[in-house]
Amino acid sequence: FRYKDSLAEDLGRADLVISHAGAGSCLETLEKGKPLVVVINEKLMNNHQLELAKQLHRDGHVFCCNCSTLAETLQSMDLSTLKPFAPGQPEKFALFLDKVVGFQ
Q: Is the pLDDT of residue 76 over 90?
A: yes
- Lowest model confidence (mean pLDDT) among 9-18, 22-31, 71-80, 88-97: 88-97
Q: Given strand 17-19, what is the order of strands in its sheet?
A: 17-19, 36-40, 63-66
Q: State the pLDDT confidence band at 38, using cuts at 50, 70 and 90.
A: very high
- Provide the whole-model pTM: 0.79
Residue that wins the pLDDT comparison between 25 and 99 = 25
Domains of the chain: 7-101 (3.40.50.2000)
